[in-house]
Each structure stands twice: as structure tokens, then as C-alpha cells.
Amino acid sequence: MPVPETPVPAIPGPLVTVDWLGGNLRRVVVFDASVGALRAGGTRIPGARPFDLDGGLSDHGAPVPHTMPTAAAFEEAVRDLGVDDADAVVVYDAAGIYSSARAWWMFRAMGFDRVAVLDGGLPAWRAAGLPVEAAAAAYGGPRGSFTARPRPGLFVDADTVAAALGDPAVAVLDARTRERFAGTAPEPRPGLRGGHMPGALNLPFGELQGPDGRMRPAGELREVFEALAGRRERFCFSCGSGVTACVLALGATLAGYGEGAVYDGSWSEWGMPSDRPVAVGG
């Protein structure tokens, strides 16, 4: 007797809980989007596939790290990871919510909305006593049929950000630490100037999360954005290399704002020696 196909669940929103994922683990595609040292060895949620932002899921022909690939390159990479158009996708990372939001935003920028971030990431999964297994270096399953359908405007360039800085209806929010924003702490990438874009506002991405590493409730998130940006409803998000800017994008989405834009080059581009203006101080 044939085994019936397992139906793909509806994604309940931009975030899913560990309980939800635990109950739907065999019905969704799960990606580990950890970056840097967090990718080395360790454990994973059972069956999770590597979403390598340090490798094939970034454009290494670009002058700055973590640049969004072309639509064609993203489509090929995601097909190689076995994703079909009808799948539901959950992304997580080993830090909590750090680089997983970048993977979530990339899927959305390619027109794929059946994607969510695991609230609290791998630490929350482990804290709940849910099973883990040895991490796999690569995905070895069948190829998928994913189709990229790019949405213009979810990733923007430096000229678009420069225009946004002069638009009183738009708030440009920088997710870096307050010390890096002020220029009192050195940039981790050599050769970059310290400081921030004149007119940008500082919202360190960690301030959108509680002490347990989960995102704060929607009402609290709304209060954070309103305290900083007032009544403005349009946002452009920046950070060091376009990764934690996506945590701000996630927070704004949860708070009920419309789609913002992520500055893909972020400070890795703007902070290069150039004639683009830089401000220091708070």
C-alpha cells in the first residue's frame, strides 16, 4: 500500500517557534544559515541543509562580503539544495537570530514567501530538549525546481541609500553596535572608515531581542521603532555587511510595517575610502 504524501504546512508568519518546527520537522525544508566559526562542525537540527552565506549563497565576484547573488545564481544554488516551489522553508542559525534573518530576506527578495525564521535558533531548539545530530558539510539529496521571481527594491545600492538619507519620509537604520556607529570602536574589516552615514539612526540588532535570544513581542518592537523613527513608516536597513540589517527587517515586519529595503553593501561598501560622507559621534 503506497505511503500518502505528507502535506506541506502553511507557514504561520515570519517567525516559527521550536514547538511548531518540532511538530512539522518532516514536512518542511530546514536550513542552517550559520556564518563564520559557527559553521564549523558541531550539531544541527535533524535533516537541516547548509545555507552557506560565506560560500555559494553570496556573490564572490563583488567587492564586499555577503553580496546577494544574481537571481539566476540564487535559483541554481537553491535548486542544488533541493528546494521546490511548493516547499515550506524554515531557516535558523547557531547564534540565535543573527544570519538566519539574512537567508529569510533573500528568499523573500526572490519572490518566495513560504519561509520563516526559527525564533531563538539552535540555542532555543537545544534548550527545549529537542534532538540534534552531527552537522553535514553538504546536501546530497535530489535537486529541486525552485524558481526565482525577483522583487525589485528589497535590496538597494549606495545611491538609493544616499537618496533615502535626504528623504524625510524614510528612516535609515544602522544595526551595528553603538560604538561602531559612533566611530569609537574599530571596524572588524581592515581599511574601513569609522562612523556612520550622516542622518542614519542607530538601532543595534540585539535590542530587538529578549535575553533568551528570541524576538521581542510585536507591540514592543513597534515601540522601539516609533521611539527612534517617530511616525515614519518607510525604512532602509544597514549594518556591517548586509547580514544583521535583515534582523531589523524581520523586526519591522513583525511590528507591522510594510516592506523596507536592505542596503546590501552596508558599511563594508559605504565605509570604504571614498567621497561618500561619514559622520562620527552619537
d(C-alpha 68, C-alpha 77), whole Å: 12
Crossing angle for the helix pair 218-229 and 245-254, nearest 10 degrees?
Answer: 110
Q: Cβ distance 74 to 148 under 8 Å?
A: yes
Give strand pairing partners of 153: none
Which residue bears the cell 515614519?
232
Point out the catalytic residue in the list 118, 239, 243, 249.
239
Strand partners, 92: 32
CA distance 200 to 211: 26
Distances (CA, A) of 265 to 63, 155, 189, 222, 247: 9, 9, 13, 26, 16
**Helix, strand, coil distribution of the chain in percent, nearest 5:** 30, 15, 55
Rounded-to-integer distance, Cα 81 and Cα 144, Å: 7
Catalytic residue check, 239: yes
Provide the annotated active-site residues. 239
